[in-house]
Amino acid sequence: METQCSLQILIIIFVAVFISANSRNPPETSVGSTSTPPRTRRKINLRLNSIYNTIDHNSNRHFSDTPLHPLDPFTVSEINKIRSILLAYEPFSSSFPPVHTLSLDEPDKIQVLDWKAGDPIPPRRASVISFIDGQTHLVTVDLNLEAVTGDVVSTGSGYPMLTTEDQFTASRVVLSDLEFNKSILARGVDFNDLVCVPLSPGRFGPDEEGRRMVKVQCFSSQNTPNFYMRPIEGLIVTVDVDKQEIVKLTDTGRDIPLPKGTKTDYRYTTQSPFSEVSPGTNPMSMEQSEGPSFTVENGHIVKWANWVFHLKPDIRAGMIISQAMVQGENGVYRSVMYKGFASELFVPYMDPDQSWYFKSYMDAGEYGLGATAMALVELNDCPRHAYYMDGVFASADGRPYIQPNMICIFERYAGDIGWRHSEIPSMGFDIRESRPKVTLVARMAASVGNYDYIFDWEFQTDGLIRITVGLSGMLMVKATPYENLYNISDTDDMTGTLVSENVIGVVHDHYISFHLDMDIDGPNNSFAKVNLVKEETLPGQSPRKSYLKAQRKVAKTEDDAKIKLNLYDPSEFHVFNPAKRSRLGNPTGYKLVPSGTAASLLDLDDPPQIRAAFTNNQIWVTPHNRNEEWAGGLLVSQSKGDDTLAEWSARNREIENKDIVLWYTLGFHHIPCQEDFPIMPTVSSSFELKPVNFFDRNPILNAKPTFEKDLPVCFATDSSY
């Protein structure tokens, strides 16, 4: 808990900075930067040190890691090597400019596909994004040549992710401002309780171009760690993080009371004893008497049942599934997907106010889904018997750090049924056959500030892949003078639901765009829309007047594959290999199966929508292009939207019998309700990639049923009694 201490001088107050300070800049490397004035720095150091003491440091076990696969992420020693190569290159050799991102520049697909286990891995190259003298540099480092082999200055709009240094700077600049301090005092907030978060500003026209900015919003953490529920409303400070100056201060909400934050602490240790009223259930566990059925080889190759795939943490996408392959009838692995990951996550809030309009986050490109994915909570985030994978990333000074237990992998038996049939005994067969469904899940949870995004990639033995996104964590709320609805004469200007006294949960959306580089039995695939169309019968043809017919249409160009889903114009969406047919001659493919989703309804020319134009359709198909991985663009912060999926796809390139990428955007509309306060029960939605004439028959026909003898004998542990 916070210790209460009296305010001495403003500049030594604790400044909590937003987002991934630990991940992007671990304490050993991030503290003590030259731009922080000594007195502030000392305090920050102390706080950070105490925080970092609580972090599980596992880096020792990664010092000897060696890359064993062309797609393996950089190891600790490789990151150190990249840093030393950079240190020999101007301007890194003089004043090491901040590394905004450092990631593997993956070898060309052909090289990866040609590679076989045991082969030497292709040359390792790093892609480093750095901001130097007002320009974004895309630097390529070749580890084999031990040299910088590329240094391209970006000419498009947009900036790299903020570093922790940028975030410190923003908060420091704000705190040194007299007007800001006056406002905090006027609102009666104790500076000890002040938590300020640097928000990405979006981009709203020419005024906001040409400089890297952060909009700082502050909260009070008095009596609760759930400061998100105690916003200091209407106070937004726009900071130029390079010039280290305030661009604009908006202070419109002094008459709006600070919400009390009563009963907003959600931590177990601070709850009142588990009462009779609580919806308690006895603990449960998924147990396997013969142990889990999966293995993780060489750190990243996951093998389970009929599946094999490469899994790695990524600072931006969170996790990446590569080279997912499933066994055919003869046991040979067949390619399904070359690369799948969450490419961007767009979260527009629906409030046009001065202090809210800009809230239209692009969480992957602005904050990083991997950068914000902290260690999973064992037994609660993931079941017992889960395997945990660490992330190895580079901080702003180019040094490696470990994100422990960032991904978990587990087998899942949820009581579901793989297939079943009972035959009516009178049919002459007394049949009761059923197979339990066991699946494999790879999970990660990104805490992008207030929100938690749980990403699941679930693999089934019948060849299906289900991608689920769960939303939990805290609402982004707005303070209001109103304690309850009876006070409000006109609720029409409320932009959300009153979820607690003086707290409005503002309406917002979430859109997660997935990059799905499908390679069905090889890179060259086509996309077909199989439309169900009503046919009318001819007079006298049939007592039926109408029926549905599947009409298959193969997309020639990108325009043919821009899909807006419509319940009354239904289709299946197939990616198939035109060079391969099933035993019967059907095209072998996978279909994308959407489920519950939402579409963005913002104006196409609204600035956030332009930047997130990948939400203009639910489905797109593009030719594979290694420069087109991030649906909102490579450099997303403050981008104009000149490097989005919509821009690339506007070229209307050919996509038939090409190496193509399928894009699907999963959407959520969220009108908050009181149940979302002070922390939200998880809301989930999903979509599937499902084999369609890929297998010649049901691939789990001979799956084994569960027998009593297979199951474990379990006892309660002594300690619980």
- Please give the residues from 460 up to 519 whose contact with a copy of itself meets the rule CB under 8 A: 460-464, 470, 472-474, 483-486, 495-501, 507, 509
Measure CA of the first residue to CA of the last residue in the chain; give whole Å.
31
Q: How far is the CB of 220 from a copy of itself (least distance, A)?
A: 12
Query: What is the rounded CA–CA span in Å between residue 364 and residue 347?
Result: 11
Q: How far is the CB of 464 from a copy of itself (least distance, A)?
A: 7
**Restricting to residues 142-171, which ones interact with a copy of itself according to CB under 8 A?**
164
Q: How far is the CB of 61 from a copy of itself (least distance, A)?
A: 21
Q: Single out the catalytic residue among 159, 388, 451, 664.
A: 451
Q: How far is the CB of 368 from a copy of itself (least distance, A)?
A: 12
Side chain identity at 672, as an amino acid letter?
A: P
Instruction: Count other Cβ atoms within 10 Å, centred on residue 442.
Output: 22
159, 361, 393, 410: which one binds a copy of itself (CB under 8 A): 410
Q: How many alpha carbons fall within 13 Å on the CB side of residue 605?
A: 0
19 vs 516 by CB, closer to a copy of itself: 19
Does 415 bind a copy of itself (CB under 8 A)? Our answer is: yes
**Restricting to residues 212-251, which ones interact with a copy of itself according to CB under 8 A?**
221, 225, 227
Q: Which pairs from 598-605 meet CB under 8 Å and 24+ separation?
A: 598/509, 598/511, 598/667, 598/668, 598/669, 599/564, 599/565, 599/667, 600/346, 600/348, 600/509, 600/511, 600/667, 602/348
113 vs 593 by CB, closer to a copy of itself: 593
583, 625, 650, 651: which one binds a copy of itself (CB under 8 A): 583
Q: How far is the CB of 341 from a copy of itself (least distance, A)?
A: 21
Does 678 bind a copy of itself (CB under 8 A)? Our answer is: yes
Does 696 bind a copy of itself (CB under 8 A)? Our answer is: yes
Identify the CA nearest to 318 among candidates 345, 352, 348: 345
Q: How far is the CB of 336 from a copy of itself (least distance, A)?
A: 13
Residue 125 · residue 155 · CB < 8 Å: no
Identify the CA nearest to 369 among candidates 441, 311, 451, 310: 451
Q: Stretches 49-57, 66-74, 115-123, 146-154: which one binds a copy of itself (CB under 8 A)?
A: 49-57
Query: What is the rounded CA–CA span in Å between residue 43 and residue 20?
Result: 19
**Restricting to residues 79-98, which ones interact with a copy of itself according to CB under 8 A?**
none
Does 707 bind a copy of itself (CB under 8 A)? Our answer is: yes
Q: How far is the CB of 295 from a copy of itself (least distance, A)?
A: 12
Distance of alpha carbon 473 from the chain centroid: 14
5, 147, 650, 701: which one binds a copy of itself (CB under 8 A): 701
29, 103, 136, 372: which one binds a copy of itself (CB under 8 A): 372
What the block records as the tokens of 691 is 């084999």
Query: What is the rounded CA–CA span in Å between residue 215 and residue 221?
Result: 19
66, 93, 252, 278: which one binds a copy of itself (CB under 8 A): 278
- Interface with a copy of itself (CB under 8 A), residue total 220
Q: Stretches 70-78, 252-260, 377-385, 656-664: which one binds a copy of itself (CB under 8 A)?
A: 377-385
> What Å distances lie between residue 265 and 262, 410, 436, 674, CA to CA?
8, 30, 40, 16
120 vs 428 by CB, closer to a copy of itself: 428
DSSP 583: T
Q: How far is the CB of 506 from a copy of itself (least distance, A)?
A: 10
331, 489, 490, 539: which one binds a copy of itself (CB under 8 A): 331
* Residue 495 backbone phi and psi in degrees, to 5: -100, 20
Query: What is the rounded CA–CA span in Å between residue 264 and residue 220?
Result: 12
628 vs 676 by CB, closer to a copy of itself: 676
Does 330 bind a copy of itself (CB under 8 A)? Our answer is: yes
451: annotated active-site residue: yes
Letters for 54-73 (x = contact with a copy of itself by CB under 8 A, - = none) are xx------------------
159 vs 453 by CB, closer to a copy of itself: 453
Query: What is the rounded CA–CA span in Å between residue 29 and residue 649?
Result: 41
CA dihedral 6, 12, 16, 21 (to 10 degrees): -150
Which residue shows structure tokens 């529920």?
Answer: 229
Q: Single out the catalytic residue among 240, 353, 363, 452.
A: 363
Q: Which pairs from 39-45 meet CB under 8 Å and 24+ separation?
A: 39/11, 39/12, 40/11, 40/12, 40/15, 40/172, 42/12, 43/12, 43/13, 43/14, 44/14, 44/15, 44/168
**Restricting to residues 600-639, which ones interact with a copy of itself according to CB under 8 A?**
601-603, 605-609, 618
643: annotated active-site residue: no
Q: How far is the CB of 473 from a copy of itself (least distance, A)?
A: 5
Letters for 279-298 (x = contact with a copy of itself by CB under 8 A, - = none) are xxxxxxxxxxxxxxx-----
Does 210 bind a copy of itself (CB under 8 A)? Our answer is: no
71 vs 499 by CB, closer to a copy of itself: 499
Does 530 bind a copy of itself (CB under 8 A)? Our answer is: yes
Query: What is the rounded CA–CA span in Å between residue 375 and residue 585?
Result: 48
Query: What is the rounded CA–CA span in Å between residue 380 and residue 267?
Result: 14
Name the residues annotated as catalytic: 363, 451
